[in-house]
Chain A
Amino acid sequence: MKEITILSGKGGTGKTSITAALASIASQAVFCDNDVDAADLHLIMRPTIREEHTFLGGWTATINENICNDCGICADICRFDAIHLNGHERLEINPFSCDGCRLCERLCPVQAITSAQSTNNSWYVSDTRFGVLVHAKMGPGEENSGKLVSEVRKKAKELAIEGDARYLINDGPPGIGCAAISSLTGTDLVIMVIESTISGLHDVRRLYELIQIFSIPTYALLNKIDINPLSTSEIEEFLKEKSIPLLGKIPFDERMVEAMIEGKTIIEFNESLETSKVIMEAWNKIENL
């Protein structure tokens, strides 16, 4: 079983549309949406949920006003600047600033502080017309997206091995921070979807540097190449310089959006389009590695 992760650095380069297209092509594969923050893959894969699980998120502390004597020790030791006097001159914890370290709870001399773990995140095992999909929904503003990514990947991997799948395909998050790192560690192969723009190149340079830390084999798939030929040739130069194999060059195709509106992959929408052909050829190259 080979685990493949689709990443891009920049958001909106086409990761999810391309992952969905691969779902149409790859046989014996399990899919996993690693973009737990703004998960969109289910909009095309239209899953039927088989299992729902709660993911326990970070802790958030609260002060019981009836016990608190406003000594201020908690506010002094809080490194996240989360504890302040409220309009009634009482100490209060801002839940959006609280990092969940629970130090205030431990040091409160009158035990006025308790912490609770968020139950606002869920993850699912679902059936789709392409196979199993493991995906998640984070509560708004939640922390620990990296841990949730690890959780869905772990489950997807188990299912892939159990079901004797040939591939596990992860639709990754944008960026290079904690969520991207979590979707990268231990994967077998990365496909970088690069948008033909100055920011697409800037961001993929940073992503590639991150992938290098983990020494994972990396391939590139260019998207929206006819927006501007100049940026496309700059990206190709970068790939050459780093010896990153190019899997294909996808044109800028508004029918990607039309397919999305119909809840279809671009392959289902029309497999004789240039876009569909390039993606099929790219997958062929992966299969023959």
Chain B
Amino acid sequence: MITKQKGKIPLKLAIASGKGGTGKTTVAVNLFHFISKKFAQKIQLIDCDVEEPNDLLFIQNAEFLTEEIATQLIPVIDNSKCTYCRKCVSYCEFNAIVVIPPVQFAEVNSSLCHSCGACVVACEYGAITENPEEIGTIRNYRVGPDRMLTEGRLKIGSAMQTMLIKQVKQHAREDMDMVIFDAPPGTSCPVVETVVDADYVILVTEPTPFGLYDLKLTVEMLREIGKPFGVIINKAGMGDHKVQNFLSDQHIEILGEIPYSREYASKYATGNILKNTNSETEIQYEAIIRKLMDRNTEDERDNDLKR
């Protein structure tokens, strides 16, 4: 059982994949379920796949607690003060401001704005102020007495997913023993934002050529930012052995292999993966969790020795 020592921050895990549809959500939801059953009491799952958040679909006893509207600051130009000097345009790296002096036109395109504040600094006439605009919602749920689910949900039409992920992550609670971040697919900025504060990253892959190719990209990304990670091979038995070969050549830890099962896929299809879990699934996840725990206690011991 891991219980957080007083004053210590919770252990943070992130689940990522590169390729979509390899089973990130399945693994995140199962780890959330089985870790709390035996290994840690207070655990929070944070769905950072804000474009398509799915964790809630698989957690039946979630009880809604709070909702917060996530916003970004969008500059507004006051035409009565604007001199159409275009300094704000030259400061904006995202081409979000259009100023046409002859026709006295000045406007901000909010869908391109990154809310960096450069235009406000640029304007010498106090013509630019900022107003919050919605980019999505952040909802908190209670799952049983000690568990929490936090979900970020991007407003449809917003392109500011990375900014929302940053805000969602701030809902990680210090009083938890463990926090799990479920990342979006891919390998670019939204994924980096999700994993950047994690202590350890679990990559979920599948033994197919697409799975392998995207796994390699994700491994490259994690090595570049210097995160420790291990891999779960989902749908093992389908496809070929090239993923296993790659992982052993690269000395990457395999945390577990979850066999492909058509019956399980069918349970997933209706959202029932946590209902009537069979002992086989439980054994597989327990083995994965024990591997994770061993790793973390080793890391902690190493850190203690260094101190």
**Residues of A with Cβ closer than 8 Å to B?**
9-13, 16, 37-38, 40, 43, 59, 77, 79-80, 96-97, 99-103, 106-107, 138, 140-143, 145-146, 173-181, 195-199, 202-203, 206, 209-210, 213, 227-228, 230-231, 252, 254, 257, 260-261, 263
Q: How far is the CA of A105 from the CA of B155 in the complex (A)?
A: 32
B269 near A38: Cβ-Cβ < 8 Å: no
Q: A140-B221, A198-B271, A261-B208 are contacts. A11–B19 as well, Cβ < 8 Å?
A: yes
Given A37-B188, A227-B266, answer yes or no on A101-B93 (Cβ-Cβ < 8 Å).
Answer: yes
Name which residue of chain B comes closest to A209, CB basis: B156
Contact string against A for B residues 66-104, beta-carbon threshold 8 Å, 1 for contact and 0 otherwise: 000000000000000000000000010110000000000
Interface residues of B in 162-186 (CB under 8 A from A): 162, 184-186
Which residue of chain B has the shortest Cβ distance to A232 in the bound complex? Answer: B269
A60 to chain B minimum Cβ distance, whole angstroms, is 12
Is residue B196 contacting chain A, with contact meaning CB distance below 8 A? yes
Stretch touching chain A among B20-28, B38-46, B249-257, B279-287: B20-28
Q: Given that A10-B52, A175-B51, A261-B240 are contacting pairs, would A103 and B209 also be in contact in the complex, using a CB cutoff of 8 Å?
A: no
CA A252 to CA B265, docked complex, whole Å: 11
Within the complex, the shortest CB–CB distance from A226 to chain B, in Å, comes to 9
Bound form: Cα–Cα A179–B209 in Å? 23
Contact between B21 and A12, CB atoms less than 8 A apart: yes
Write out the residue numbers on chain B whose beta carbons fall within 8 Å of the beta carbon of A195. Answer: 21
Which residue from chain A places its CB closest to the CB of B91 in the assembled complex? A106
A133 to chain B, nearest CB (A): 16
A-B contact count (CB 8 A): 182
Residue B65 is within 8 A (CB to CB) of chain A in the complex: no
Contact A199 B57 (CB under 8 A): yes
List A contacts of B151 (CB < 8 A): none
Q: Determine if A261 and B159 form an interchain contact, defined as CB atoms under 8 angstroms apart.
A: no
Residues A43 and B20 in contact, CB atoms below 8 Å apart: no
A101–B118 touching, CB < 8 Å: yes
Max chain B CB contacts within 10 Å: which of A40, A142, A254?
A: A40
In the complex, besides A59-B93, A141-B191, A206-B52, 20 extra interface pairs with C-beta distance below 8 angstroms are A11-B20, A38-B18, A38-B20, A77-B121, A79-B116, A96-B196, A102-B93, A106-B118, A140-B224, A141-B189, A143-B189, A174-B184, A175-B185, A177-B50, A199-B54, A227-B269, A228-B270, A230-B270, A257-B238, A260-B209
A36 to chain B: closest residue by CB = B188
**Taking the complex as formed, is B230 at the interface, i.e. its CB lies under 8 A from any CB of chain A?**
no
Q: Report 27 cross-chain contacts, Cβ distance below 8 Å, ordered by A residue.
A: A10-B21, A10-B54, A11-B20, A11-B21, A11-B185, A13-B20, A43-B210, A96-B192, A100-B93, A101-B94, A101-B114, A140-B218, A141-B187, A142-B189, A145-B188, A146-B159, A177-B158, A178-B161, A198-B271, A206-B51, A227-B265, A227-B269, A252-B265, A257-B238, A257-B239, A260-B208, A261-B209
B214 and A40 contacting across the interface, CB-CB below 8 Å:
yes
**Contacts A178-B159, A197-B269, A227-B269; A140 near B52 (Cβ below 8 A):** no
Q: Which residues of A contact B116 (CB under 8 A)?
A: 79-80, 99, 101, 103
Chain B contacts for A181, CB-based, 8 A? 157, 159
CB of A102 within 8 A of CB of B52, answer: no
When chains A and B are docked, how far (Å) is the Cα of A184 from the Cα of B156? 13
Query: CA of A198 to CA of B190 in the docked complex: distance in angstroms?
Result: 24
Asked whether B52 lies within 8 Å of A203 as measured between CB atoms, the reply is yes
A141, B224: Cβ atoms under 8 Å? yes
